[in-house]
């Protein structure tokens, strides 16, 4: 395995259980500057739990998270966000009653960090221009004034990504961005993600469908039943018998 | 008769103004996502605290009211802590509990007259209230056009996502609670010094409930709703014969009807188009090079 | 005498518990609070007075109160609860039912005046008392205790053993799952409201028997206290609520003996706030509340 650049994120023996049910079992891995890392695994493997722990929604039971060398285990979500960790959600969580533009504007770190100091100001042109730029990259500029709740599914996904990027994060976690998409939409999504690559240091894509990640990711990490079972370049990982077993085994049980 | 008329108008201005401020105090807390049934209690504390300062310590009225407001604001922050961990009806129960407790607590304190009441307050006039309404209204209006408004909207609509965007939700909610409490207290301070006499049974749970009614019936979309609701519901009983005696039934039925007609988005409100209008104007006017616009953009 | 106070406390507590269980029933099934509940309780008292004044014996009054209160509950369900689902439904339903409660109070006051109305008890209940364990207990008090306990028992049996009860429990657990199982959820909710409100009305009857008069204020004070009891004992948990009611009743009675009576309400409220913060499921566990199942 060739390391690209420095490790931005170091996960060490991370564990999380819910009322006795083990969701994450001493997972360890690193994420390197400049890469697109794919995180795959069958349904229920613990991928979303992992994202939720790393982004501060849940506290880990044990293990550490280091971000740029700094121990951030147990930090609350808003602090992690301010440090540069951003994410999207499996079941798109936009602010539906705000406009598309406002969804992006509200992600501005400057205001989020000091909400009350902007109380008597009016939104600046520069901020609007920056937000519009984010929207343009995601081909949503013409819908800027529409309520976010009125967007079609694919557009809503793109808005979530635009919103996450508006905070100028260092790491972007995309939680099952291809969920519910057909082949054409998935290809569009793949192109959009490549577009965003320059805007962040790292992209981590959590997916349960391997097609998106096969060509897009530099490395793959496979999780099953809360444990890491494989790690490496996509072709090697996807050919790994343990990985195939995990998917086949899982597919036998459900769906 | 002229004297009487002037007195009556003064009363109208005073009570309407106080109720507008109280409605806004609930609105401010509502902005961060909590419906507080405790603002009558904050009003009571403000009235009594400022009264103690002016009557027992000869503090000038404006300073007394300000200090009472700040102190009650801190108390409001304390009350806000349960609001962080409770939602919906649990929060209602907590704020109702506090409102109910405050009244019995005041009745038990002899220093401020207990059940018999507390007198000697003086010096407030309706014009102070009018100025205050203008100031608070101005502040709310400015906030509504600022980035802070968006942050409040985000916190209200989806707390978790707001956090993930870097917003310290706890801080926002606590400041919101404290500010609302302080405003209610200041309104209470002026009210007390106008009425000149305070009795605990004026500050029962129904007071908090009516304030919430003003806000709901007036509309929660923006700062005007609560103000109009408060103004209308304060003055209407004066002019519509019979309304005063039938107030509970009429208001009650209005609430039931209104909620049936508009049950969704009662609290998660905000007319998107109206509020974002100023932003729309801004995007239209901003000069972005034509080539940056996406091909499908329509002018 | 301490024992007597404790008995009084139990009688009072069983009354609180009866009211609180009505709240609990609805909360368990819908995750919402019915703020009209306490006014139905209050109205029950007035219906009792009216019935007795018209010459009906107590058991007839009981049936009348039961029926009218139940029907009123159905109306409240239709107006304040049926339409509200979704995010803020809890608050909307609470507000709406509260408004209905206000209307009830106002109408009763307009019709009967704001002063309490006295009840002339049938001679038998007024005069007789019996001796148990060295204490003289008025027959009236025993009747009250009897009715409360009987109803509580009946409620527990209804919920635990009957088909209706099974439907209620299933709906409380998960309305969508219940619907999939073929349960008529709408009908079950209506039945829940009927039972809860009928109990509230009968609780009003028992109170009037005990105090000798009906007043429009009691809905509020008893209602608030019953809410506190439900929160303390366990929101959505019938048994917890019952125990909570007894606890508060006895505590209140003891507090009166030590002279701390008036602060009792405040203490109960503060205790409730603490419990809600520390252990939202209530002291005695949560069997039904969906909030707890995150």
Give the one of A141, A147, A167 whose C-beta lies nearest to B165's C-beta: A167
A140 exposure class (CB count in 10 Å sphere: 0-12, 13-18, 19+): buried
Question: Which residue in chain B is spatially nearest to A116 when comparing CA positions?
Answer: B148
Of residues A1 and A124, more confidence is placed in: A124
- Cα separation, B230 vs B136, whole angstroms: 15
By residue range, what is the domain housing residue A65?
Answer: 7-253
Is the ipTM reported for this complex over the cut 0.95? no
> pLDDT category, C292, cuts 50, 70, 90?
very low
CA A143, chain centre distance (Å)? 24
- Cα separation, B194 vs B188, whole angstroms: 10
Q: A1 in a domain, yes or no?
A: no
For the residues C110-116, what does the mean pLDDT come to?
Answer: 86
Give the one of B82, B92, B108 whose C-beta lies nearest to C94's C-beta: B92
For the residues B8-36, what does the mean pLDDT come to?
Answer: 92
B-chain residues near A158 (CB < 8 A): none
* Token output for C137: 């207990």
- Comparing CA positions, the residue from B125, B116, B140 lying closest to residue B29 is B140
Q: Is the pLDDT of residue A1 over 50?
A: no
Give the pLDDT of residue B288.
41
For the residues B255-282, what does the mean pLDDT come to?
Answer: 61
Q: Is the pLDDT of residue B182 over 70?
A: yes
Sorted by sequence, the CB contacts under 8 Å of residue A116 that are 6+ apart come out as B148, B175
- Cα separation, B217 vs B208, whole angstroms: 14
- Cα separation, C106 vs C227, whole angstroms: 22
Question: Which residue in chain A is spatially nearest to B295 when comparing CA positions?
Answer: A139
> pLDDT category, C190, cuts 50, 70, 90?
very high
Look at C273 and B100 and tell me if their CB atoms are within 8 Å: no
Lowest mean pLDDT among C4-8, C218-222, C233-237: C233-237
C-chain residues near B266 (CB < 8 A): 88, 91-92
Q: Is the pLDDT of residue B164 over 90?
A: yes
Interface of B to C at Cβ within 8 Å reads 35, 82, 85-86, 88-90, 92-94, 96-98, 100-101, 104-105, 107-108, 205, 209, 212-213, 216, 246, 248-249, 251-253, 255-256, 259-260, 263-268
**Looking at chain B from residue 154 to 183, which residues have their Cβ under 8 Å from any Cβ of chain A?**
154, 157-158, 160-161, 163-169, 171-172, 175
Q: C261 in a domain, yes or no?
A: no
Question: Which residue in chain A is spatially nearest to B170 when comparing CA positions?
Answer: A78
Look at B248 and C102 and tell me if their CB atoms are within 8 Å: yes
- Cα separation, C205 vs C256, whole angstroms: 24
Of residues B194 and C272, more confidence is placed in: B194
Q: Is the pLDDT of residue B170 over 50?
A: yes
To probe the interface with B, which of A106, A159, A192 has the most B CB atoms within 10 Å? A106
Q: Is the pLDDT of residue A179 over 70?
A: yes
For the residues C132-144, what does the mean pLDDT come to?
Answer: 72
- B262 φ/ψ angles, rounded to the nearest 5 degrees: -130, 60
Give the one of B160, B167, B283 whose C-beta lies nearest to A144's C-beta: B283
Quickly count: other Cβ atoms within 10 Å of residue C19's Cβ.
Answer: 29
Distances from the Cα of B80 to the Cα of A59, A76, A173, A255, C267, angstroms: 24, 19, 33, 45, 20
Give the one of B139, B161, B167 whose C-beta lies nearest to A115's C-beta: B167
Of residues B246 and B83, more confidence is placed in: B246
Strands A219-224, A202-207: pairing kind: unpaired
Q: C258 in a domain, yes or no?
A: no
- Cα separation, B12 vs B126, whole angstroms: 9
Give the one of C91, C98, C280 whose C-beta lies nearest to B267's C-beta: C91
Of residues A79 and C143, more confidence is placed in: A79
Look at A98 and B296 and tell me if their CB atoms are within 8 Å: no
Look at B92 and C224 and tell me if their CB atoms are within 8 Å: no
Looking up tokens 């002279």, which residue turns up? C259
Q: What are A54-100's pLDDT values in tens digits?
A: 999 888 999 999 999 899 999 999 999 999 999 999 889 999 888 99
Kindly give the residue spans of alpha helices, DSSP state H, lying in C134-184: 139-161, 163-173, 175-180
Quickly count: other Cβ atoms within 10 Å of residue C115's Cβ.
Answer: 10
Q: What are C196-234's pLDDT values in tens digits?
A: 999 999 999 988 888 888 888 888 888 888 888 888 877
* Token output for B15: 């009570």
Q: Mind telling me how many Å the CA of C136 is from chain B's nearest CA?
A: 34
C-chain residues near B82 (CB < 8 A): 273, 276-277
For the residues B262-283, what does the mean pLDDT come to?
Answer: 53
Query: Quick check: helix, strand or coil at residue C284?
Result: coil
Q: Mind telling me how many Å the CA of A244 is from chain B's nearest CA?
A: 34
Q: C238 in a domain, yes or no?
A: no
Q: C222 in a domain, yes or no?
A: no
Q: Are B165 and A106 in contact (CB under 8 A)?
A: yes
Give the pLDDT of residue C7.
82
- Comparing CA positions, the residue from C190, C225, C159 lying closest to residue C72 is C190
Give the one of B101, B104, B212 whose C-beta lies nearest to C262's C-beta: B104
Q: Is the pLDDT of residue C279 over 80?
A: no
Sorted by sequence, the CB contacts under 8 Å of residue C226 that are 6+ apart come out as C16, C19, C20, C22, C23, C37, C38, C245
Q: Is the pLDDT of residue B191 over 50?
A: yes
Any idea what the CATH number is for the domain that residue A40 is in? 3.40.50.300
Cα B115-B121-B125 angle, rounded to 5 deg: 130
- Cα separation, C194 vs C188, whole angstroms: 10
Give the one of B175, B269, B272 whose C-beta lies nearest to A99's C-beta: B272
Share of chain A above pLDDT 70, in %: 95
Share of chain A above pLDDT 90, in %: 54
For the residues B236-250, what does the mean pLDDT come to?
Answer: 84
Cα B154-A127-B278 angle, rounded to 5 deg: 70
Give the pLDDT of residue B294.
38
Chain-wide mean pLDDT for chain B? 84
The domain segmentation of chain B, as residue ranges, is 2-204
Give the pLDDT of residue A253.
47
Q: Are C61 and C214 in contact (CB under 8 A)?
A: no
Q: A2 in a domain, yes or no?
A: no
Output the DSSP codes for chain B. -HHHHHHHHHHHHHHHHHHHHHHHHHHHHHHTT---S-HHHHHHHHHHHHHHHHHHH---HHHHHHHHHHHHHHHHHHHHHHHHH--HHHHHHHHHHHHHHHHHHHHH-GGGTGGG-EE------HHHHHHHHHHHHHHHHHHHTSHHHHHHHHHHH-HHHHHHTT--HHHHHHHHHHHHHHHHHHHHHHHHHHH-EE-GGGGSHHHHHHHHHHHHHH-SSSTHHHHHHHHHHHHHHHHSTTTTTTHHHHHHHHHHHHHHHS-TTSSS---HHHHTHHHHHHHHHS---GGGS-TT---
Q: Is C277 left (phi over 0), alpha (psi -120 to 50) or beta?
A: alpha
Half-sphere exposure of C229 (CA within 13 A, CB side): 36
Q: What are B192-229's pLDDT values in tens digits?
A: 999 999 999 889 888 998 999 999 888 888 899 899 99
Chain-wide mean pLDDT for chain C? 83
Give the one of A77, A133, A145 whose C-beta lies nearest to B163's C-beta: A77
- Cα separation, A72 vs A64, whole angstroms: 8
By residue range, what is the domain housing residue C108?
Answer: 2-216
> pLDDT category, B266, cuts 50, 70, 90?
low
In the DSSP assignment, the letter for residue C254 is H
Look at B150 and A81 and tell me if their CB atoms are within 8 Å: no
Look at A106 and B165 and tell me if their CB atoms are within 8 Å: yes
Share of chain C above pLDDT 70, in %: 86
* Token output for B126: 């309706």
Question: Which residue in chain B is spatially nearest to C262 when comparing CA positions?
Answer: B104
Q: Is the pLDDT of residue C194 over 90?
A: yes
In the DSSP assignment, the letter for residue A142 is G
CA A67, chain centre distance (Å)? 15
> pLDDT category, B26, cuts 50, 70, 90?
very high
Question: Which residue in chain C is spatially nearest to B86 when comparing CA positions?
Answer: C277
Distances from the Cα of A155 to the Cα of A143, A181, A189, A192, angstroms: 10, 12, 10, 11
B-chain residues near C95 (CB < 8 A): 212, 216, 255, 259
For the residues B147-151, what does the mean pLDDT come to?
Answer: 93
Give the number of domains in chain C.
1
Lowest mean pLDDT among A95-99, A251-255, B281-285, C124-128: A251-255
To probe the interface with B, which of A98, A144, A156 has the most B CB atoms within 10 Å? A98
Look at B167 and A56 and tell me if their CB atoms are within 8 Å: no
- Comparing CA positions, the residue from C37, C33, C97, C63 lying closest to residue C222 is C37
CA C236, chain centre distance (Å)? 13
Q: CB of B293 within 8 Å of any CB in chain A?
A: yes
Give the one of A78, A106, A115 whose C-beta lies nearest to B163's C-beta: A78
Q: Is the pLDDT of residue C180 over 70?
A: yes
Beta strands in chain A (DSSP E): 7-18, 21-32, 36-40, 62-67, 70-71, 85-87, 171-175, 202-207, 219-224, 227-232
Q: Mind telling me how many Å the CA of B218 is from chain A's nearest CA?
A: 20
B-chain residues near C28 (CB < 8 A): none
Kindly give the residue spans of alpha helices, DSSP state H, lying in A46-122: 47-54, 77-83, 100-105, 109-113
Q: Give the number of beta-carbon pairs within 8 Å between B and C.
A: 117
- Comparing CA positions, the residue from B238, B202, B249, B209 lying closest to residue C111 is B249
Q: A214 in a domain, yes or no?
A: yes
A-chain residues near B281 (CB < 8 A): none
Give the number of domains in chain A.
1
- Cα separation, B85 vs B33, whole angstroms: 12
Distances from the Cα of C246 to the Cα of C8, C20, C240, angstroms: 10, 11, 10
Q: Mind telling me how many Å the CA of A165 is from chain B's nearest CA?
A: 10
- C138 φ/ψ angles, rounded to the nearest 5 degrees: -65, 145
Question: Which residue in chain B is spatially nearest to C110 when comparing CA positions?
Answer: B246
Q: What is the pTM of this model?
A: 0.86
Q: Is A135 left (phi over 0), alpha (psi -120 to 50) or beta?
A: alpha
């Amino acid at each position: 395995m060739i390391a690209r650049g420095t490790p931005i994120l170091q996960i060490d023996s991370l564990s999380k259980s819910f009322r006795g049910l083990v969701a994450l079992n001493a997972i360890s891995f690193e994420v390197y500057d400049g890469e697109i890392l794919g995180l795959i695994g069958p349904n229920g493997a613990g991928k979303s739990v992992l994202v939720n722990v790393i982004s501060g929604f849940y506290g880990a039971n044990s293990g550490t998270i280091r971000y740029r060398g700094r121990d951030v285990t147990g930090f609350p979500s808003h602090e992690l966000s301010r440090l540069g960790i951003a994410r999207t959600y499996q079941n798109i969580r936009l602010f539906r009653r705000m406009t598309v533009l406002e969804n992006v504007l509200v992600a501005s770190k400057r205001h989020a960090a000091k909400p009350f100091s902007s109380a008597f100001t009016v939104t600046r042109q520069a901020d609007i221009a920056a937000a519009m730029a984010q929207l343009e990259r995601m081909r949503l500029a013409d819908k800027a004034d529409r309520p976010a709740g009125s967007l079609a599914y694919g557009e809503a996904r793109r808005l979530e990504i635009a919103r996450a990027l508006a905070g100028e994060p260092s790491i972007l976690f995309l939680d099952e961005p291809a969920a519910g998409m057909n082949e054409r939409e998935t290809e569009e999504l793949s192109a959009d993600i490549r577009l965003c690559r320059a805007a962040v240091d790292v992209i981590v894509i959590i997916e349960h469908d391997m097609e998106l990640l096969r060509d897009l990711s530099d490395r793959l990490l496979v999780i099953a039943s809360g444990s890491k079972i494989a790690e490496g370049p996509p072709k090697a990982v996807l050919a790994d018998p343990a990985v195939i077993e995990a998917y086949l085994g899982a597919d036998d049980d459900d769906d | 008769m002229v004297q009487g008329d002037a007195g009556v108008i003064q009363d109208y201005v005073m009570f309407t103004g106080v109720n507008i401020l109280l409605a806004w105090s609930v609105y401010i807390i509502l902005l961060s996502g909590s419906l507080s049934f405790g603002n009558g209690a904050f009003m009571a504390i403000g009235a009594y605290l400022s009264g103690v300062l002016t009557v027992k310590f000869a503090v000038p009225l404006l300073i007394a009211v300000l200090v009472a407001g700040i102190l009650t604001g801190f108390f409001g922050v304390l009350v806000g802590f349960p609001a962080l961990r409770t939602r919906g009806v649990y929060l209602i129960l907590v704020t109702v509990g506090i409102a109910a407790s405050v009244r019995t607590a005041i009745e038990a304190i002899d220093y401020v007259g207990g059940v018999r009441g507390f007198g000697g307050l003086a010096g407030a006039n309706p014009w102070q209230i009018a100025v205050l309404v203008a100031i608070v209204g101005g502040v709310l209006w400015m906030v509504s056009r600022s980035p802070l408004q968006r942050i409040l909207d985000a916190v209200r609509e989806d707390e978790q996502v707001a956090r993930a965007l870097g917003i310290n939700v706890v801080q926002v909610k606590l400041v919101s609670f404290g500010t609302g409490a302080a405003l209610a207290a200041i309104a209470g301070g002026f009210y007390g010094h106008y009425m000149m006499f305070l009795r605990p049974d004026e500050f029962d749970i129904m007071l908090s409930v009516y304030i919430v009614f003003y806000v709901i019936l007036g509309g929660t979309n923006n700062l005007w709703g609560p103000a109009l609701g408060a103004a209308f519901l304060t003055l209407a009983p004066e002019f519509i014969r019979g309304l005063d005696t039938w107030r509970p039934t009429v208001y009650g039925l209005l609430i039931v009807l209104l909620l049936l007609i508009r049950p969704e988005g009662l609290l998660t409100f905000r007319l998107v188009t109206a509020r974002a209008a100023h932003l729309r104007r801004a995007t239209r006017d901003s000069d972005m090079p034509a080539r940056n616009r996406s091909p499908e953009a329509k002018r | 005498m301490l024992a007597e106070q404790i008995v009084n406390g139990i009688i009072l507590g069983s009354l609180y518990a009866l009211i609180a269980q009505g709240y609990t029933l609805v909360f368990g099934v819908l995750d919402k609070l019915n703020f009209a509940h306490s006014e139905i309780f209050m109205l029950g008292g007035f219906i009792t007075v009216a019935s007795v004044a018209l010459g009906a014996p107590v058991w007839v009054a009981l049936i009348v109160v039961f029926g009218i209160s139940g029907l009123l509950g159905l109306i409240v369900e239709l107006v304040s609860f049926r339409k509200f689902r979704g995010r803020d439904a809890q608050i909307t339903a609470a507000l709406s039912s509260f408004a209905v409660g206000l209307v009830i109070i106002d109408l009763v006051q307009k019709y009967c005046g704001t002063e309490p109305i006295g009840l002339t008890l049938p001679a038998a209940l007024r005069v007789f008392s019996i001796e148990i364990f060295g204490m003289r207990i008025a027959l009236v008090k025993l009747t009250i205790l009897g009715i409360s306990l009987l109803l509580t028992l009946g409620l527990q049996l209804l919920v635990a053993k009957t088909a209706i009860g099974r439907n209620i429990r299933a709906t409380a657990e998960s309305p969508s799952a219940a619907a999939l199982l073929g349960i008529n959820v709408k009908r079950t909710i209506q039945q829940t409201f009927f039972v809860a409100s009928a109990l509230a009305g009968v609780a009003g009857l028992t109170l009037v028997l005990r105090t000798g008069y009906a007043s429009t204020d009691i809905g509020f004070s008893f209602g608030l206290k019953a809410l506190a009891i439900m929160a303390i004992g366990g929101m959505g948990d019938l048994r917890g609520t019952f125990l909570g009611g007894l606890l508060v009743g006895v505590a209140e009675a003891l507090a009166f003996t030590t002279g701390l009576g008036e602060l009792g309400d405040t203490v109960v409220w503060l205790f409730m706030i603490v419990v809600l913060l520390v252990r939202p499921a209530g002291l005695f566990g949560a069997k039904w509340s969906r909030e707890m199942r995150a």
